[in-house]
Amino acid sequence: MTAKIAYDEVEVGTELPAGTFPVTRATLVRYAGASGDFNPIHWNEKFAVEVGLPDVIAHGMFTMAEAIRVVTDWAGDPAAVVEYGVRFTKPVVVPNDGVGAVIEVSAKVAAKLDDRQVRVDLTATSAGQKVLGMSRAVVRLA
């Protein structure tokens, strides 16, 4: 499938609508159940601190999935994403304070490629720190 966005209508530098994604401890429990990743660093504060983390942290794959939502929402079709990769630079720390954390994501078209594809570069931050590096997606447009 291809995106609903037309390749000819997109220019390098086009900014995608930004996204803000809240993360609570309850979110992490639901994600653990869906993914099968019950590592205690994602739900047990005492354990997380004992292994050197500041607090419970979000799953890396959860963070990655939240970030790509900006691209799939823009494209209008998740299947239009033909490639996606990131480097994990900092964890998303999720305190048990009833508020949790927020992942903020921005993205822009960095290059127009062959075969009606574009490369989208993403920036994901939480608590003012970049949590994903080298975050890039290739998207096939209409």
Domains (ranges, CATH) in the chain?
7-23+57-140 (3.10.129.10)
Write the CB contacts of 22 (distance below 8 Å, at least 6 apart in sequence): 100, 101, 102
Rounded Cα–Cα distance for residues 93 and 95 (Å): 6
State how beta strands 101-112 and 117-126 pair: antiparallel
Whole-number pLDDT of residue 106: 98
For residue 33, which amino acid is it? G
Whole-number pLDDT of residue 4: 87
Residue 1 has pLDDT above 60, yes or no: no
Question: What's the average model confidence in pLDDT over 27-56?
Answer: 97
pTM for the structure as a whole: 0.94
- Whether the CB-CB separation of 18 and 33 falls below 8 Å is answered with no
Whole-number pLDDT of residue 39: 98
Whole-number pLDDT of residue 2: 62
Residue 63 has pLDDT above 60, yes or no: yes
Whole-number pLDDT of residue 3: 77
Whole-number pLDDT of residue 68: 98
| Residue closest to 14 by CA, chosen among 70, 83, 78 | 70
Question: What's the average model confidence in pLDDT over 31-46?
Answer: 97
Residue with tokens 């942290």: 57
| Residue closest to 64 by CA, chosen among 114, 117, 142, 122 | 122
Question: What's the average model confidence in pLDDT over 98-120?
Answer: 97
- Whether the CB-CB separation of 67 and 103 falls below 8 Å is answered with yes
